[in-house]
Structure 1
Amino acid sequence: MLFQIEPITIKGSYFSKNLNRSVIFRIVAPIDYLKSSTEFPVLLMNDGQDYDALFLSEILSLAFSSKETKPFIYVGLSCNENRIHEYGTASTTDFKGRGGQALKYSKFIIDEFLPFLKKEFKASKDFKEWVYCGMSLGGLSAFDIAFNNSDKFGKVGVFSGSFWWRKKAYIKNDLKDRSRIALEVIKKGVYAPHLKFWFECGSQDETADRNNNGIIDAIDDTLEVINELTLKGYTYPGDITYVQVEGGKHDLPTWGKVFPKFISWAMAK
């Protein structure tokens, strides 16, 4: 083959009334997008500014050519210097007051950006074909928004999610440790039988082990989120997929290496 056709890439910005700023976005679609008369499933991602560092150009090209995945559109949203305030949980800030604009970010996603994508692009009108993902604090944000707006998403993916996010500082020997906000979000939320979850953690995500149980906090926090979801009615395995990367770290190279596996799950035929 003497030439190669690259996927379609569109870069732009959308002014959000909720955030009172322009949000930079990138859309990547398979070449068939131009001539297709059908709509495409959507993979929406926080921290879209990490597109190159995750090697997503190569990963998406391979996914678009794979017979194992459905044709889909990737949409990456870039954050700015307010990341620590816009990402988080919409219901409450953490104990240090971080995440104070998370509710506004959620409203931007649900009330502004999703309708924009469905109007201006060939984005599926079937909410079950929408997948939302993110890494670290961006993963917590994606989880919080998708879980609380399950009528807009079918799947959610979280890489090394910041499930340590808490209403009060950790108290030593607090065995229940219910101050982690994600646990209360799940407990107070509504069960949606169609919603599916994908979680990833690296065995070297961190070294902290606050309860001295021999398991690092990042894995502990994720497994307890999974347990809370099972109490809600979701099945594990089944509705919930958990991938633990041995030697994996809390960094872009680890997440980039496991991203193809995530896409295979998210967009499986």
Structure 2
Amino acid sequence: MQFQIDFIGAKGRFFSKYLDRIVTFRFMAPANYWDTSYTFPVLLMNDGQDFTAMKLEKTFSEAYASKAVRPFVYIGLECNESRIHEYGTASTADFKGRGGRALEYSKFVIEEFIPFLKKEFKVSTDKKDWVYCGMSLGGLSAFDIAYRNSNLFSKIGVFSGSFWWRKKAYVKKDVADRSRILLDVIKDGNAAPHLKFWLQTGTDDEKADRNQNGVIDSIDDTLDVIKELRARGYSYPGAIVYEEVLRGKHDLPTWANIFPKFVLWAFGKSLMTPAQGGLPRSSK
């Protein structure tokens, strides 16, 4: 009986000394993973427990079958009840003390897990082949880790990122609003010219508009991140791709629907040309 394997999938567990716990991860690769000497590019993702809800098996299977996409492996890191403490920015917790273990999570990813992957799996050791992504708070974490460790990554993907993460409570009429931690991570960090960014929001991500400028906070915060990146020399359009999804929500179905486009951007064999010609609106 003849049969065809569409992909290889597995789940594993890794004990982290930094986190003092077992981290579950999911692995998915093209069907020829075992039969080739090829080392694969990597899509590393936070919140890997959302693999099924985001229909990523279908997305990746279709990508593997596409001639427009380079073969790659997916590795999703699952979180647990400590998510609000382990995700965030490694430089500091937010003003409520959330993200207090983000530094340990960063060390786990950089010093423990990636070396493990490079030793045990057929993955590329070239930074140009590594992409790190995440959704919401997991997106903030992925951005922070990859930006600060640009020697290991080339692309960063963030879906409805929690860029509101701040070191002090918002004060009304604070026009500069520099308390958002990621802005200083970008400003004070080493801007690596090779980095590229995919940033996505939805017009229905939320309803909050703290500065009453007619733009919801999630979009405002993302546009300000883009402004900060541009100030460091990153081009838009170009190094930065921004996808604003009409009626998109802060939920798994929205991210699932846009994910195939992200995969094509991340691993497409030819460069995608962003549809946008400029920022869709002014942020402050």
Q: Secondary structure at the match of 1:64?
A: helix
> What residue identity is the alignment partner of 1:212?
Q
Aligned to 1:257: 257
Identity %: 66
Aligned to 2:116: 116
CA shift for structure 1 position 55: 0.3
Aligned to 2:240: 240
Count of residue pairs brought into register by the alignment: 268
1:196 aligns with 2:222: no
Distance 1:238 1:40 in 2: 25
Distance 1:243 1:3 in 2: 39
1:164 aligns with 2:155: no
Q: TM-score, normalised by structure 1?
A: 0.99
Counterparts of 1:37-186 in structure 2, within 5 Å, are: 37-186=37-186
Distance 2:237 2:24 in 1: 36
CA shift for structure 1 position 6: 2.8
Q: Secondary structure at the match of 1:132?
A: strand
Distance 1:26 1:204 in 2: 30
Q: Secondary structure at the match of 1:125?
A: coil
CA shift for structure 1 position 4: 4.6
Q: Secondary structure at the match of 1:199?
A: strand
Q: Secondary structure at the match of 1:34?
A: helix
CA shift for structure 1 position 5: 2.2
Q: Secondary structure at the match of 2:70?
A: coil
Aligned to 1:228: 228
Map Cα deviations across residues 177-208 of structure 1 (whole Å, 9 max, x no partner). Answer: 00000001001001101100000000000000
Aligned to 2:215: 215
CA shift for structure 1 position 49: 0.2
Q: Secondary structure at the match of 1:10?
A: strand
Map Cα deviations across residues 48-75 of structure 1 (whole Å, 9 max, x no partner). Answer: 0000000001011001111111000000
Unpaired segments ≥5 residues, structure 2: 270-284
Runs of 4+ with deviation above 2 angstroms: 2-6
